[in-house]
C-alpha cells in the first residue's frame, strides 16, 4: 500500500525531522556563513555603475525589461544592497554560463546562499555523479518514448474544456500537465497526483529567498510539506527495493543501494525535479497560450501549419524566459568587459536580458515565430543546461497541438494575472473563453 501523502505516521515524521538537518538546515547554515564572508560590491571602483534594481520584487517580476535595457548599457552593474554583480548582455551571460569552472553553482542559484546536494547546485565532480543518475531518463530518445503518455494527459485536460465558458487555462491545463508528467515519470501512483501537486508547491519558493530571514521563514513554512514528501518518497523507494518498476524512483533507489547517491541525495533528486520542472513548464505553456489568446492570426497560422508549433515554443522560450536569472559565485577573480569581479563575489546572470539583447536578436521584444532563435538561453547553457529541456518542449508542443486540434478559437475573458515567484516568469491565471464547434 502506498503511504498516505498527507498523513505520515508520527515515527516517520520524527525520522524526516532528523533528515531535514542534512537536507535543509545544514545547507542553510553553510550558505549563511558563506554569505557573511562574501566580498561586497561596496568596495568596487566608484566608476562602476550602480543599480537599485531588485529582480525579486513583484513589480519588477511583472516587467523587468526596462531595467534590463539599462543594465545592458554596461558589461557589469552592481547592486550594493543585494551584494551582487549583475550581467545582462548576451555575450557576457553566455560566457558566464559556460565558465562553470570559475563561476560556481555550489552556493545555490538564488540571491542567498543555500546549497542542498542537488544537481542544479553542484560543481564537478558531484555534479557529474548526480547528473549521470537521471540523465538517461531525459535524453531526447527516452523522452520521445513518453509521447503517447503525454498525449493522453494533454488530451484529458483539453477534453475537459467547455465551449463558451470562461476557463482559467493555468488551473485547467498549464499546471496539471507538467506535474502529472513528472509524477508519471517518477512512478507516483495516480491517486496521489492531486495531493502531490499541493505538497510540491510548497517547495517552489525554496530557491527564491532574498535574505537569511526569508530563507528561514520559507523553510519553516515548507517543513510540513517536507515531512510529508520525505516520508512518502522514502516509502515509495523502499517499495521499489522489493518490487522494482520501470520508473525514476526505482532508478533513484538503485543508485541509493549501490552507494552512488546518499539517502538524502536520492530524496532531494525527486524534489529538485519537481521544483525545476513544474512552474517553469507551466510558465512556458502559459505564455504561449496567452499569445494565442491575444493574437487570432497567430492562432490560425499555427492551427493551419503544425510544423510551426515547435518554432513557436522555442520563440516563446526566448521571448519570455520562464527562468529569468540564476546566480553563481566566482571562485577566482572573473573579468567581464574590463571589470574584475573578485573571488567570492556573487554574480547574477540575467538569462531573460540576454534573450532580449538586440545585439543578438533583432527587434527582441517582438514575438516572431519565424525568427532564428538559435543560441537563446532560456534553458541555460553549458554544464547546467536544463536536464528537462526535451521534456518541457515535448509537453508544450503536445499540449498546444491538442488545443489546436480541439478548439477553433481562444479569447481572453479577463485580465492575465502574472506570477510572483522570484526568478520565474509567466501567467498565474489566464482566463479565456474557448470556441469549439
Ligand atoms: C520550460 C521549462 C523549463 C525551463 C525554461 C527550464 C530552465 C532551466 C534553466 C535555465 C536551467 C539552468 C540553470 C542554471 O543555469 O543554473 C535549468 C536546469 C535544470 N532543469 Fe530545467 N527548465 C525547464 C523544465 C525542466 C523540466 C521539465 C525538468 C525536469 C523534470 C527540469 C530539470 C532541470 C534540472 C534538473 C536542471 C539542473 C541541471 C544541471 O544543473 O545540470 N527543467 N532549467
pLDDT in tens, 306-321: 999 999 999 999 999 9
Q: Are 196 and 183 in contact (CB under 8 A)?
A: yes
Measured on CA atoms in the order 183, 187, 190, 192, is the torsion positive or negative?
negative
Residue to probe by mutation, ligand 1, list 188, 386, 396, most atoms within 8 Å of CB: 386
On the question of pLDDT at 1 being above 50, the answer is no
SS3 of the chain: helix, strand, coil, percent, to 5: 55, 10, 35
> Ligand 1 atom closest to Cα of 317?
5
Q: Which atom of ligand 1 is nearest to the CA of 393?
A: 1
Q: How far is the CA of 184 from the centre of ligand 1 (A)?
A: 18
User: What is the rounded average pLDDT for all residues in the chain?
Assistant: 91
Percent of the chain with pLDDT over 90: 70
Average pLDDT over residues 71-98: 97
Residue 55 has pLDDT above 50, yes or no: yes
Distance CA 219, CA 215 (A): 6
Integer CA distances (angstroms), 422 to 59, 89, 210, in order = 11, 20, 9
Q: Which residue out of 94, 129, 276, 346 has the highest number of ligand 1 atoms within 8 Å of its CB and is therefore the one to mutate?
A: 276
Asked if the model's pLDDT at residue 72 lies above 80, the reply is: yes
Separation CA 299–CA 82 (nearest Å): 42
Residues 6 or more apart whose Cβ sits within 8 Å of residue 251: 133, 134, 137
> Rounded to an integer, what distance in angstroms lies between the CA atom of residue 181 and that of residue 146?
9
284 Cβ closer than 6 Å to some ligand 1 atom: yes
Which CATH homologous superfamily contains domain 10-435?
Cytochrome P450 (1.10.630.10)
Protein residue closest via CA to atom 30 of ligand 1: 277
Question: Is the CB of residue 182 below 6 angstroms from any atom belonging to ligand 1?
Answer: yes
Strand, coil or helix: 105: coil
Most confident of the ranges 39-43, 262-266, 358-362: 358-362
Q: How far is the CA of 208 from the centre of ligand 1 (A)?
A: 15
Band the pLDDT of 206: cuts 50, 70, 90. Answer: low
pLDDT above 70 as % of the chain? 96
392 lines ligand 1 (CB under 6 A): yes
Nearest CA to ligand 1 atom 41: 384
498527507: which residue's cell?
6
Over residues 377-395, mean pLDDT: 98
pLDDT for 255 beyond 80: yes
On whether the CB atoms of residues 49 and 75 are closer than 8 A, the answer is no
**pLDDT exceeds 60 at position 3:** no
Cβ atoms within 10 Å of 195's Cβ, excluding its own: 15
Average pLDDT over residues 77-84: 95
The answer to whether residue 2 scores a pLDDT higher than 60 is: no
Strand 103-104, strand 334-336: pairing: unpaired
Instruction: Assign 97 to helix, strand or coil.
Output: helix
> How far apart are the C-alpha atoms of 30 and 27, rounded to whole Å?
5
8 A C-beta contact, residue 426 and residue 417: no
pLDDT in the model for residue 95: 98
More confident residue, 200 or 145: 145
d(CA 431, CA 413): 5
Q: 84-87 and 346-350 as β-strands: parallel, antiparallel, unpaired?
A: parallel
* 383 Cα to the center of ligand 1, angstroms: 11
Ligand 1 atom index nearest CA of 122: 40
- Average pLDDT (211-231) is 78
Amino acid at each position: 500500500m502506498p503511504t498516505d501523502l498527507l498523513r505520515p505516521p508520527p515515527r516517520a515524521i520524527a525520522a524526516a525531522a532528523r533528515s531535514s538537518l542534512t537536507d535543509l538546515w545544514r545547507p542553510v547554515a553553510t550558505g549563511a556563513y558563506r554569505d557573511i564572508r562574501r566580498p561586497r560590491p561596496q568596495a568596487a571602483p566608484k566608476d562602476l555603475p550602480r543599480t537599485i534594481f531588485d529582480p525579486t520584487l513583484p513589480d519588477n517580476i511583472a516587467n523587468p525589461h526596462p531595467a534590463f535595457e539599462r543594465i545592458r548599457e554596461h558589461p557589469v552593474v552592481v547592486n550594493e544592497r543585494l551584494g551582487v554583480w549583475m550581467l545582462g548582455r548576451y555575450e557576457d551571460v553566455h560566457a558566464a554560463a559556460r565558465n562553470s569552472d570559475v563561476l560556481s553553482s555550489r552556493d545555490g542559484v538564488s540571491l542567498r546562499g543555500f546549497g542542498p546536494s542537488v544537481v542544479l547546485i553542484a560543481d564537478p565532480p558531484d555534479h557529474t555523479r548526480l547528473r549521470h543518475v537521471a540523465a538517461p531518463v531525459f535524453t531526447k530518445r527516452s523522452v520521445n518514448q513518453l509521447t503517447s503518455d503525454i498525449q493522453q494527459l494533454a488530451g484529458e485536460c483539453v477534453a475537459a474544456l467547455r465551449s463558451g465558458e470562461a476557463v482559467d487555462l493555468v488551473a485547467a491545463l498549464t499546471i496539471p500537465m507538467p506535474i502529472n508528467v513528472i509524477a508519471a515519470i517518477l512512478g507516483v501512483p495516480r491517486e496521489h497526483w492531486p495531493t502531490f501537486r499541493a505538497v510540491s508547491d510548497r517547495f517552489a519558493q525554496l530557491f527564491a529567498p532574498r535574505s537569511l530571514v526569508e530563507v528561514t521563514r520559507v523553510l519553516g513554512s515548507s517543513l510540513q510539506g517536507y515531512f510529508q514528501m520525505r516520508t512518502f518518497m522514502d516509502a515509495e523507494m523502499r517499495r521499489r527495493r522489493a518490487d522494482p518498476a520501470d520508473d525514476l524512483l526505482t532508478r533513484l533507489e538503485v543508485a541509493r543501494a549501490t552507494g552512488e547517491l546518499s539517502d538524502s541525495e536520492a530524496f532531494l533528486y525527486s524534489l529538485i525535479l519537481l521544483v525545476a520542472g513544474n512552474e517553469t513548464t507551466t510558465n512556458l505553456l502559459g505564455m504561449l497560450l496567452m499569445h494565442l489568446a491575444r493574437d487570432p492570426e497567430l492562432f490560425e497560422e499555427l492551427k493551419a501549419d503544425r510544423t510551426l508549433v515547435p518554432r513557436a515554443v522555442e520563440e516563446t522560450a526566448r521571448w519570455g524566459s520562464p527562468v529569468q536569472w540564476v546566480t553563481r559565485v566566482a571562485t577566482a577573480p572573473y573579468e567581464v568587459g574590463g571589470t574584475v569581479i573578485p573571488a567570492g563575489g556573487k554574480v547574477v546572470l540575467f538569462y531573460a536580458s540576454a534573450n532580449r539583447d538586440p545585439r543578438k536578436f533583432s527587434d527582441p521584444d517582438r514575438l516572431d515565430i519565424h525568427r532564428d532563435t538559435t543560441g537563446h538561453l532560456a534553458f541555460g547553457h553549458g554544464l547546467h543546461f536544463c536536464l528537462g529541456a526535451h521534456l518541457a518542449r515535448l509537453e508544450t508542443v503536445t499540449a498546444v497541438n491538442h488545443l489546436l486540434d480541439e478548439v477553433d478559437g481562444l479569447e481572453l475573458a479577463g485580465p492575465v494575472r502574472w506570477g510572483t515567484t522570484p526568478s520565474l516568469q509567466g501567467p498565474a491565471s489566464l482566463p479565456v473563453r474557448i470556441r469549439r464547434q
